[in-house]
Chains A and B, each alone.
Chain A
């Protein structure tokens, strides 16, 4: 049906589009592995640029903070989302409809709207410039998404299984942790990678909440590094690679979860 000419034209389109998508990323990689700017201490082609950027840009500190925030947000929000998603998806209770819509509102709410009052309220509590000011608002955002995500999964999971377990006398807690959660592993992994990515890449909340350099996350550190380090691009590129690598590596291993999660979890009821 489809001619050879059309087929090869399709490959041309495919390759051109792939190149377009990856070209800016390659620009950064090429600079990061390339000849160092004047003042650099390394020869081209080795990892010296990364060592220089790591030292001058304090990326070690930033990565540690990013890792701490991301792990905390992932663990707490996944746990809380399983609990609330279970309540909405499996148990019947008064007010579940309106309460669920209240959670849905959180998915749509942009950080821009809440970050202003949050900053001034946390400041009067003396909580700005702390780990908690960066982590807790992101837990709240992730719980809004996670509740929505886990509810959808629990609703689609086998209802007869839950009923049978209950007839056997299993408690609600056992139904959740010993029957449903092991089955929900794919959904939980997807939620974990998405929340990790969103938290790692978040910029506005740490920018507003933190002035102490030791509490900067990796993207925030990179933005400041760009402001300070203006002679040449090599070290900035190396810093950018350092900041992007953890999520990109995770993506290469778990891309199915990333793509499915971002497409399905996007907006749908």
Chain B
């Protein structure tokens, strides 16, 4: 029993009754997630329109992800969205959280409630709101008009070069609150002694940030990056409701292409291949970021 406590595993002899407790949950999980995933892998090797008999084509659907210009740009768009969903929120969140952590301002719980609010609103509702803001007669253009910047007014989501950044900015808005709250929680756990020592050494706010704050919240940065990068890859609802991948295919992303190909173009095999690729990429990214985060906190 002592050895089991040391390794952190449950006590006692192995007991078969565990399988009975696992069975119902595992049955549903296997039937509606594991089996479909295996089927997705299988389908991804076929050329199938969803109706007639499929044709085995090996890795052609995967090759197409690299060779087809439309698909390549969809993955490229996802990379750009990562900047908006992950890089900008983590940088802004670090800045905001360290400012708020330095001076213990009052009303912080209320502030936390407000900035976290976007996370609980359905993405479809978020998309409806931002579509309105970006509309030709929407509030963004009203604001620009009021500032005398009429020349910048446009239909933001209909613009070939600006539609993708506009969608990305919704992600920045959506994720910054989450990241800030996460980092604030991490910074709240830093011992005050560390700051005092830094101040006795004559460190200003900037040195204090790089010497004390930043190293202490590496774990939180890793979690925030994982969450937001995955969110950037899973933007189906946002893209479907705001732009539908347009104009042209300037805002198409992999998760949108899955739907578009499977249910609008009748290219089920290709859609499955994109879905499988997306899963592999998400797994790889979460493993990679957590590995980096762990090593940093260990050293």
Contacts and interface: CB of A to CB of B under 8 A. Distances in A.
B120 A113 contact: no
Nearest to A16: B96
B25 A113 contact: no
A22 B121 CA distance: 11
Interface stretch (B56-64, B145-153, B157-165, B258-266): B258-266
B10 A90 contact: yes
A136 B18 contact: no
Counting chain B CB atoms within 10 Å of each CB, the highest count among A17, A83, A103, A105 belongs to: A17
Contacts of B230: 108
Interface in B211-244: 223, 226-227, 230, 233-234, 236-237, 240-241
B124 interface: yes
Contacts of A2: 102-103
B192 to A, nearest CB: 11
Given A21-B118, A113-B279, A116-B275, A136 B28 contact: yes
A220 B122 CA distance: 11
Interface in A96-152: 96, 99, 102-103, 105-106, 108-121, 136-137, 139-141, 143-144, 146-147
B283 to A, nearest CB: 5
Given A116-B268, A262-B178, A244 B125 contact: yes
Given A1-B199, A87-B22, A236-B128, A108 B4 contact: no
A160 to B, nearest CB: 10
Given A91-B10, A118-B32, A222 B173 contact: no
Contacts, number: 294
B29 to A, nearest CB: 5
A116 B54 CA distance: 15
B255 A248 contact: no
Interface in B254-299: 254-255, 258-259, 262-263, 268, 271-272, 274-276, 278-279, 282-283, 286, 290
Given A117-B36, A244-B122, A263-B185, 18 more contacts: A14-B105, A17-B115, A24-B118, A83-B21, A87-B19, A87-B22, A103-B29, A112-B234, A112-B236, A117-B37, A140-B31, A143-B28, A197-B120, A201-B122, A244-B125, A251-B120, A262-B178, A267-B290
Interface of A: 1-2, 6-7, 10-11, 13-14, 17-18, 20-22, 24-25, 27-28, 31, 76, 80-81, 83-84, 86-94, 96, 99, 102-103, 105-106, 108-121, 136-137, 139-141, 143-144, 146-147, 155, 159, 162-163, 166, 172, 197, 200-201, 203-204, 207-208, 218-220, 222-223, 226, 233, 236-237, 240, 243-244, 247-248, 251-252, 255, 258-259, 262-263, 266-268
Instruction: Sort A-B residue pairs by CB-CB distance and give the 6 closest, nearest first.
Output: A140-B32, A117-B39, A113-B275, A93-B18, A84-B25, A80-B25
14 contacts: A28-B125, A91-B18, A91-B21, A96-B18, A102-B34, A108-B279, A112-B234, A112-B236, A162-B11, A172-B17, A197-B120, A204-B236, A208-B263, A222-B128
